Amino acid sequence: MKTVKIFIITGYSGSGKSTAVSAFEDSGYHCVDSMPVALLPKFLDLPNAGPTGIKGLAFVMDLREKGFVDSYRGILDSLRQKGYRFEILFLEASEEVLLRRYSETRRHHPLATDTSLPDSIRTEKQMLVGLRNEASHVIDTSTYNVHKLRSAILELAAEGKKNIPLRINIFSFGFKHGPPRNADLVMDVRFLPNPYFEPELKAFSGEDPAVRGFIFKDPLTSGFMDKYLNLLGYLVPLYEKEGKAYLTIAFGCTGGRHRSVAIARAVYDHMKNYGHPIDIKHRDIGR
């Protein structure tokens, strides 16, 4: 494991460490949140520390661990002498921003026992001065939203976006059976011609060539497809740039058997050419 890249993620409470470790994980790193620094040597000495094929290791260490400030330097120095190399990523933010974030999340500061939140934040900053000075990377997240911080971490994680491609999931459903959960883009296609009202087509699904032919012979369908596929061609690279790992595109009609299935299949066939891992699922086709 001495040749594997190792990041120590630390910094102020509320500065974005959870977002950072999530981005490292999506970049192919094996991550451990709230790793006790005293256990780090034992972890790294394990014969198979972390799963095979990982890009590196990332550990979150901070003041949630009592004694962290007093012990981290000696432990990291001893590991460096054994040949391990670390990059320390220190996240910080202004006091005003940290106060606002804590008020929004209602979380408790790890040092907030008998002191006020502002005093706890100032104490933490004083305690971490030495660690900040030793950091390989310092990121001030005061002006960052979650997406901007994630993008910065993905760049730091050494081309994680290139090695972990955006996975696209195409999904069809029927509104009468309930909307899908966790879909990023939902398109209602109930405005398209409905094969349900054609006696010779009603029993078949949108995967049947006759049903698809009925839907796609209407100029309304071709016009919609042209515009929607152009929109996806514009959006997908932007989602990749943001560092999104999964994109779920859902199409809904009334019952989830005809129109949504046919459109989902057509979009799937088109997007196979994008070069992304892609799957398709028809949730309600059998209902």
User: Which of 130, 163, 196 corresponds to the end of one domain?
Assistant: 163
Percent of the chain beyond pLDDT 90? Answer: 61
> Tell me, what's the pLDDT at 160?
43
- CA neighbours closer than 13 Å in the CB half-sphere of residue 163: 16
Answer with the residue of higher pLDDT: 143 or 104.
Answer: 143
154 vs 226, more confident = 226
Band of the pLDDT at 161, cuts 50, 70, 90?
very low
Looking at the predicted structure, is the pLDDT value of residue 134 above 60?
yes
Alpha-carbon gap, residue 161 to 169, rounded angstroms: 18
Q: Is residue 287 part of a domain?
A: no
CATH number, domain containing residue 100:
3.40.50.300
* Whether 89 and 156 share a structural domain: yes
* Mean pLDDT (whole number) for 2-7: 80
* Whole-number pLDDT of residue 50: 58
How does pLDDT run across 39-91, given as a tens digit for each residue? 999 998 876 665 566 788 999 999 888 889 999 999 999 998 888 888 999 99
Domain boundary among 144, 163, 182: 163
Q: What pLDDT is attached to residue 113?
A: 74
Q: What range defines the domain where residue 75 resides?
A: 5-163
Count CB neighbours of 219 within 10 A: 8
Predicted pLDDT at 53: 61
Average pLDDT, rounded, for the chain: 89
Distances (CA, A) of 23 to 14, 124, 152, 211: 16, 25, 9, 43
**Does 238 share its domain with 219?**
yes
* Tens-place pLDDT, residues 193-243: 999 999 999 999 999 999 999 999 999 999 999 999 999 999 998 888 776
CA atoms 129, 134, 138, 141: torsion sign = negative
The count of domains in the chain is: 2
Query: Does 162 have pLDDT greater than 70?
Result: no
